[in-house]
Chain A
Amino acid sequence: GESVGLHLPTLSVQEGDNSIINCAYSNSASDYFIWYKQESGKGPQFIIDIRSNMDKRQGQRVTVLLNKTVKHLSLQIAATQPGDSAVYFCAETQGGKLSFGAGTTVTVRA
């Protein structure tokens, strides 16, 4: 069965608002949890990762939170912009193999 998955397939966000994308996972042995962004017609693009022994990591306008107690991963995007419209995948890696979840399509409304 799947080791990672996302709660909602779509998310519509007003430009300038914060976005929160959620993901549940089942493999407690994963080394890293990662968020990828895929724009239409392109390959996945790495956004941010978090090691399994951390609970929060911040990047530029993005924050990833890891709750190992409930096996939940989230991506927060601050001040969402039109260029953030894409499909977002959570993924987990164990021993170098990357496994993707199903994806959430984020649409930014002007």
Chain B
Amino acid sequence: EPEVTQTPSHQVTQMGQEVILRCVPISNHLYFYWYRQILGQKVEFLVSFYNNEISEKSEIFDDQFSVERPDGSNFTLKIRSTKLEDSAMYFCASSAGSQSGELFFGEGSRLTVL
């Protein structure tokens, strides 16, 4: 069964460092997303991406965040200068269409900022 894969599963970094989280969406999907989940809290929308550009972003997704689809398979989230409050689980998701809510999520990348 096709799945969304994410790397690394866990990353520990120092405050102020740059972090890149990587995702391989399901191959025939066209819509890509990043969500985050702070421990014990709900899943929060960060950004959606379609046709090589951001289609929507939340207020969380400020200038420190960027996304990129560098090739035909990877979808990355970069945090330029990490803060303590960026510590969270980051989930990548993809979908075939944009209208229904059926997203396929990866297992997540846990980011710990010290």
A residues apposed to B, CB below 8 Å: 31-34, 36, 38, 41-46, 49, 51, 89, 91-93, 95-103
B44 within 8 A of A: yes
**Residues of A close to B44: CB separation below 8 A:** 100
Residue of B nearest to A102 (CB): B42
5 A-B pairs with the lowest CB-CB distances in the bound complex, closest first:
A43-B105, A34-B101, A96-B98, A93-B101, A100-B43
Inter-subunit contact B105/A44 (CB<8 Å): yes
Interface residues on B, range: 20 to 34
The A/B interface has a contact count, at CB < 8 Å, of 66
Inter-subunit contact B99/A98 (CB<8 Å): no
Inter-subunit contact B45/A99 (CB<8 Å): yes
Known: A96-B31, A100-B43. A46 touches B104 (CB 8 A): yes
Inter-subunit contact A97/B56 (CB<8 Å): yes
Known: A43-B91, A44-B43, A103-B42. A98 touches B56 (CB 8 A): no
